[in-house]
Amino acid sequence: MKKKMLSSDVLIPKILAFFAGISVLTTVGIVFVLVFESIGFFREIPIWDFISGTKWTPLFSDPEFGVLPLITGTLLVTVIASIVAIPIGLGSAIYLSEYAQPKVRNVVKPILEILAGIPTIVYGFFALTFVTPVLKFIIPQTEIFNALSAGIVVGIMIIPIISSMSEDAMVAVPASLRNGAYALGSTKLEVAIKIVAPAALSGIIASFVLGLSRAIGETMIVTLAAGNLAHLSFNPLESIQTLTAYIVSVSSGDTRYGSIEYLTIYAVGITLFVMTLVMNILAGYISRKFREEY
């Protein structure tokens, strides 16, 4: 018996370490491929021209390789998504954490999280066939493919991320803090806004950042609803192209392997990787800085 326990104590940590190593090696492999292939691109195109150029036409006869139109398109959709998702997600979290009865919470929260399980291609068709016609009815100058429709639906998609993580952070706040505030005569709203939300701030902000990171990397919704016109514009009613939508359009085309047009996929990919990496580092920093321990 003792021999058996000793063998499991030796074997199990090695198996678990192997699984952890797979995750690390996969990440390292992805970064290596992106960097290695991008080097080939930046040998041909100066990096400053890439990050500061305002025209992106790599597939034209007179190609331009300024990635700013793709970055602004991505950020425009992300800002619209944040305007939709943050108030709704945070409001839902406060309701579920502070106001909802347990029976109501047990029903509403799973239904809300179903949104996270809907395939993004379905969200894309919803944006194109329902949201865009509604927007055109309200604002006639809206183009068929536009950033506003894509941003609204991406925002709907990330609501479960923000609401679920924020609600978990609020539930983790000790009841003694709430009871102390109630003993001093605070209302339920005052407890939620002035006690619970500040105490759970690190988790709430982390949910915002992770939700927006998900919005930056979204592909199918923006490909279907926002169009594929890479031009520098901040008008949400016009067609734009995001970083992910460009990668999809080139990957599914007839671009010759190894050509400079093909290598743009990796240059755009590493740009997207850096943006999401910065967001995740920011989320980790904020979580550590505002973490409360009770």
Three-state SS sequence of 13-48: HHHHHHHHHHHHHHHHHHHHHHHHHHHHHHHHCCHH
CA 4 to chain centre: 46
Q: Give dist(CA 281, CA 279) in Å, integer.
A: 6
pLDDT(91) > 70: yes
Q: CA nearest 159: which of 96, 244, 247?
A: 96
pLDDT(4) > 60: no
Instruction: Give me the mean pLDDT over the 182-193 stretch.
Output: 88
pLDDT, tens digit, for every residue of 120-171? 899 999 999 999 999 999 999 889 999 999 999 999 999 999 998 899 889 8
Q: Give dist(CA 182, CA 239) in Å, integer.
A: 51
Gyration radius from the chain CA atoms: 23
